[in-house]
Structure 1
Amino acid sequence: MAIQSMNPATGEVLSTFEEYTPEQTAGILADTASAWMSWRETTYAERASRLQRAAEILREKQSALAEIMALEMGKPVRQGRGEVVKCAAVCDYYAQEGEALLAPMPIEGVGRSAYVRFEPLGTLLTVMPWNFPFWQVFRIAAPSLMAGNAVVLKHASNVPQCALAIEEIFKEAGFPENIFRTLLIGARQVEAVLDAPSVFAVSLTGSEHAGMKVASAAGARLKKSVMELGGSDPFIVLPDADLDEAVKTATLSRCGNTGQTCIAAKRFIVLDAVYDEFVTRLKASMSALVMGDPLAEGTDMGPMSSAPLREELQGQVDRCIEAGGKAVLGGAIPSGTGCYYPPTIITDVPTEAGVCREELFGPVALVFKVSSEDEAIALANDTPFGLGGSIWSADEAKAALMATRVRTGCVFINSLVRSDVHLPFGGVGNSGYGRELGSYGIREFTNIKSICIG
């Protein structure tokens, strides 16, 4: 099977790669397992120095890497450079903090002495998506490598050049040649990779369907899995919110990366006292965004990553309208070349409509009016997802109390929901399980070993 790199802004085929054969894949896994036997014995200082060099390379090459993203999946270059710099930050973080986070942990109350060690386990399979083609990989690879594991990457098939560029960065940084490898394979080979004795676990970021399939395969082999899946994040606006900041952040959250973000705000739940003003301001803010060539510095929104995903989004928008919703802004595929979709706002969708419980993976904001804080929380939780959410209020103590009632992996108050190197990241429900980043992320794929003396 050929793996194609295609420009979603023009439809041009950029490059074509042949999928690795099962024999080639098995050979890479054997090489990685061999490399791990030495890598596991390296010191934290040795691993940290290589991660720090990777961070330097990322910063040096941020413009070139951003261009690859723009061409392969349509991310505007300004946003692409920001993504690359964030990858450098996660390398720096684990280089600086990894040894302390993995230090033996004394345990009181048992034996003469007891402690917990965090030991590497082998090769981690990562199955990663196209929407943040560098960040999604580095946020799992950096802590895993620092912990002493090896990593193999099965990236989304539409970003093969990003995948190969990541492998090259780790090589250039001085990591052993086979300690991080890209597998140019389709989804059909994932189970065979999991069959390899050296592969002890899998981390997947992607759709519910992909997550269920890979988690089932891992479970059947008694191998650990971490799933970071979709989201339908609530964005709750209370009457005392700073609407200027709320609208600015709402626009960034819903339309950044052309709305193709799992932790984007997707359902805007607004108290009736400020509902009309919020909708008016949000329409003006989203209307001002520049949609166009992702290689242009002034572009805010590039194309969606593919025509099928755009068609799926349009189908969801159509169902919103059929259910009684009103398109206040956008709502239709524009004419012309490229997989573009305009900023869209839909109001008045009945909350019982099935589409309200789906993830809309594009620049479409569903806005709901509620009459009380309790109604806002109930609607926020009326979803199978549970990744993130935000609450906007001048009373941050009240907002923090409300946050405890929102069933998500994280809640941000008066701030953009985002993944941060210092904080554990992950969800509940159909948004998956397990955690990445922070202290939890580096320990997720280690053998947490208890040692007791006496």
Structure 2
Amino acid sequence: MDIVEEYLKAGTNKGLYYGGAFQKSFGEQSIVVRNPATSEVFTTVPDAVENDVDAAVFAARAGYEIWSKIDAIDRAQYLRRFADIIAKNIPKLALLETLVTGRSIKEMRAQMARIPEWIEYFSGIAMGLEGESNVVKGGYVTITHYESLGPVALLTPWNHPILILVKKMAAALAAGNTCVIKPSELAPVSPLVLAALATQAGLPNGVVNVVTGGPVTGAALCGAEDIHYIDLTGGTATGRKVAAQAGERLVRSTMELGGKTPIIICEDTDLEGAIAGTLFAAFVASGQTCVSGARFIVHEKIYDRFTKDLAARADAITIGDPMADETQMGPVISMASQDRCTRMIAQAKADGAVQISGLEPAVLQAPFDKGFFIRPTILKDVKPHHKLFLEEVFGPVISVTPYKNETEALRLANTGNFGLGVSIWSQDIARAHRLSLGVRGGVVWLNDHHRNDPRSVWGGVRDSGFGKENGWDALKAYMTKKSVIVRTAPGHDDWFAGSTRYG
């Protein structure tokens, strides 16, 4: 039985993964992992203690001494083998992701099919990373080249356990670093499997390591002396803590944090296309992505028709068993998430918003009647001071607000402190581009949403974080640029014997 099949069996707990093998935790505590579609216990993983983290970082250092010395061309060959092994396991990895996250199998098959692209892309561009040289004043040549950093910490979320991990890991490994991964305690299984697959692909022991656990484990990893970069995707509150810890140690970091994604619908939009596209934006992954379309800002001329048609489409979404091919939307990740959605809906209605979809609670047959399901929910006439307008829900609950002109649309879109994703829907490309220049966000889609590619730079501003994923920016973030200065002028200078040359 291969490693993915082992972990597809409920109850599998092989321990932590570092140094190229599964390892028993030094601690005695475990974390329960539930299937959110049924609330049943799927498995447990170790709650790693500081000694576990130290051992994993030590293994990453040993792996780094080998991996960093391999030429980028040869590293690319290892990484392509890793991508090939992932590709062969896509059907089983999709099943595993669905079991742990509750995402529909249709979604996970589509997402998993693209995972190898990130590894192939970064292994490719790393081979083309070139230094520079310049002849400078005074008879000198400066030569620059890029070097890896060392062991790095990757802190990954539960909503895209494989995708977000691979986005980070592909860049880090292609740059010549080794990784210690701390996945979310809600979905920690897939990263363990990926680490084992990396070893199967022939990557040296210690190149990919995983410690499972909660906030204490994460703090221990971020504080480890031999960690040289911290890359987190998570909530804004967690990001502030991790960034402060990184700042205290003067360790570079990337923070991809929360969002309250505005969607601007102009009066000249292709209404049918906009409804189809923004329905996907709002409710794919049960609304549990950092760029989920959460705050619809719709021109008053088309407001009534748009909200009516969007609500009808939302109520037609099929929810239920995530493993069923006909299911279009699964549960949210946990009871806490379900409760937060319910509270936000109640608060919005108390504030005066009008609920126009998801009016009837989800009624499902056992065992899914115990799952953490929330129907796709739309509330219209939400005001910019309402909690639903300002705060992230991270679930299938969206607000709709009318606007009169572009100035008001931008004011509404830029309300609050987030700045990650935005989408703008208009058939007038000049208008759409004009709005894109005025809106606050690190990723802006015009007449589309949620599209991602290893070549498309991704990252936010303000409370949505800093630093970039994807593209050359991500690869170079995992490296340091060294300058070597070569004297070419004849003879030598002697300052203390009377030379007047300085600098």
Query: Normalising by the residue count of structure 2, what TM-score does the alignment of the two structures yield?
Result: 0.87
Alpha-carbon distance between aligned partners in 1 of 2:297 and 2:484, rounded to the nearest angstrom: 50
**Residue type at the aligned position of 2:479:** T
Identity of aligned residues (%): 31
**Residue type at the aligned position of 2:470:** L
Give the deviation of 1:191 after TM superposition.
2.7
Question: Is the partner of 2:441 in helix, strand or coil?
Answer: coil
Name the counterpart of 1:401. Answer: 434
Offset from partner CA, 1:351-370 (integer Å, 9 cap, x none): 12233111121111211100
Name the counterpart of 1:271. Answer: 299
**Residue type at the aligned position of 1:6:** R
**Residue type at the aligned position of 2:131:** P
- Between 1:255-264 and 1:75-84, the stretch displaced more is 75-84
Alpha-carbon distance between aligned partners in 2 of 1:332 and 1:16, rounded to the nearest angstrom: 34
Name the counterpart of 2:384. Answer: 351
- Flag the 1:376–1:105 CA change in 2: closer, same or farther, 3 A: farther
Name the counterpart of 1:64. Answer: 92
Name the counterpart of 1:216. Answer: 244
Moved over 6 A (4+): 108-111
Give the deviation of 1:105 after TM superposition.
3.7
Q: Is the 8 A contact 2:260 2:295 kept in 1?
A: yes
Offset from partner CA, 1:240-281 (integer Å, 9 cap, x none): 111111111111111101110101111111111111121122
- Flag the 1:331–1:316 CA change in 2: closer, same or farther, 3 A: farther
- Flag the 1:449–1:342 CA change in 2: closer, same or farther, 3 A: same
Query: Which structure: larger Rg?
Result: 2
Q: Is the 8 A contact 1:390 1:413 kept in 2?
A: yes
- Say yes or no: does 1:261 pair with 2:289: yes
Offset from partner CA, 1:292-350 (integer Å, 9 cap, x none): 11111111101111011110111111111111100001156535321000011100112
**Residue type at the aligned position of 1:386:** G
Question: Is the partner of 1:143 in helix, strand or coil?
Answer: helix
Question: Is the partner of 1:377 in helix, strand or coil?
Answer: helix
- Say yes or no: does 1:434 pair with 2:467: yes
- Say yes or no: does 1:104 pair with 2:131: yes
Alpha-carbon distance between aligned partners in 1 of 2:47 and 2:162, rounded to the nearest angstrom: 21
Question: Is the partner of 1:199 in helix, strand or coil?
Answer: coil
Give the deviation of 1:109 after TM superposition.
6.4
Q: Is the 8 A contact 1:116 1:449 kept in 2?
A: yes
Q: Is the 8 A contact 2:48 2:217 kept in 1?
A: no
- Say yes or no: does 1:362 pair with 2:395: yes
**Residue type at the aligned position of 2:356:** V
Name the counterpart of 2:9. Answer: none
Name the counterpart of 1:85. Answer: 113
Q: Is the 8 A contact 1:110 1:452 kept in 2?
A: no
Q: Is the 8 A contact 2:265 2:299 kept in 1?
A: yes
Alpha-carbon distance between aligned partners in 2 of 1:140 and 1:360, rounded to the nearest angstrom: 25
Offset from partner CA, 1:68-117 (integer Å, 9 cap, x none): 111111011111122222211111111222222x2214568667533432
Give the deviation of 1:283 after TM superposition.
1.3
- Flag the 1:234–1:183 CA change in 2: closer, same or farther, 3 A: same
Alpha-carbon distance between aligned partners in 2 of 1:269 and 1:432, rounded to the nearest angstrom: 23
Q: Is the 8 A contact 1:47 1:95 kept in 2?
A: yes
Q: Is the 8 A contact 1:4 1:160 kept in 2?
A: no
Name the counterpart of 2:408. Answer: 375
- Say yes or no: does 1:160 pair with 2:188: yes
Alpha-carbon distance between aligned partners in 2 of 1:53 and 1:207, rounded to the nearest angstrom: 33
- Between 1:15-24 and 1:283-292, the stretch displaced more is 15-24
Question: Is the partner of 1:178 in helix, strand or coil?
Answer: coil
Q: Is the 8 A contact 2:49 2:217 kept in 1?
A: no
**1:291 aligned residue (302, 307, 319):** 319
Question: Is the partner of 2:337 in helix, strand or coil?
Answer: helix
Alpha-carbon distance between aligned partners in 1 of 2:235 and 2:443, rounded to the nearest angstrom: 19
- Between 1:126-135 and 1:177-186, the stretch displaced more is 177-186
Question: Is the partner of 1:403 in helix, strand or coil?
Answer: helix
Offset from partner CA, 1:184-216 (integer Å, 9 cap, x none): 222112232233332011111010111111111
Question: Is the partner of 1:134 in helix, strand or coil?
Answer: helix
Question: Is the partner of 1:298 in helix, strand or coil?
Answer: coil
Q: Is the 8 A contact 1:193 1:199 kept in 2?
A: yes
Name the counterpart of 1:239. Answer: 267
Alpha-carbon distance between aligned partners in 2 of 1:198 and 1:310, rounded to the nearest angstrom: 39
- In structure 1, the gaps of 5 or more residues are none
Alpha-carbon distance between aligned partners in 2 of 1:364 and 1:105, rounded to the nearest angstrom: 50
- Flag the 1:199–1:110 CA change in 2: closer, same or farther, 3 A: farther
Name the counterpart of 1:411. Answer: 444
Cα RMSD over matched residues? 1.6
Name the counterpart of 1:300. Answer: 328
Query: Normalising by the residue count of structure 1, what TM-score does the alignment of the two structures yield?
Result: 0.96
- In structure 2, the gaps of 5 or more residues are 1-28, 364-368, 488-503
Name the counterpart of 1:119. Answer: 147
**1:312 aligned residue (336, 340, 345):** 340
Alpha-carbon distance between aligned partners in 1 of 2:196 and 2:58, rounded to the nearest angstrom: 19
Name the counterpart of 1:175. Answer: 203
Name the counterpart of 2:122. Answer: 94
- Flag the 1:190–1:244 CA change in 2: closer, same or farther, 3 A: same
Name the counterpart of 1:2. Answer: 30
Question: Is the partner of 2:325 in helix, strand or coil?
Answer: coil
- Flag the 1:94–1:352 CA change in 2: closer, same or farther, 3 A: same
- Say yes or no: does 1:446 pair with 2:479: yes
Alpha-carbon distance between aligned partners in 1 of 2:447 and 2:170, rounded to the nearest angstrom: 30
- Flag the 1:332–1:217 CA change in 2: closer, same or farther, 3 A: farther
Q: Is the 8 A contact 2:222 2:242 kept in 1?
A: no
Q: Is the 8 A contact 2:131 2:144 kept in 1?
A: yes
Give the deviation of 1:418 after TM superposition.
3.1
Question: Is the partner of 1:411 in helix, strand or coil?
Answer: strand
Give the deviation of 1:17 after TM superposition.
2.4
Question: Is the partner of 2:401 in helix, strand or coil?
Answer: strand
Q: Is the 8 A contact 1:83 1:132 kept in 2?
A: no
- Flag the 1:43–1:372 CA change in 2: closer, same or farther, 3 A: same
- Between 1:333-342 and 1:240-249, the stretch displaced more is 333-342
Alpha-carbon distance between aligned partners in 1 of 2:223 and 2:357, rounded to the nearest angstrom: 49
Question: Is the partner of 1:273 in helix, strand or coil?
Answer: coil
Alpha-carbon distance between aligned partners in 1 of 2:134 and 2:161, rounded to the nearest angstrom: 40
Name the counterpart of 1:20. Answer: 48
- Flag the 1:23–1:386 CA change in 2: closer, same or farther, 3 A: same
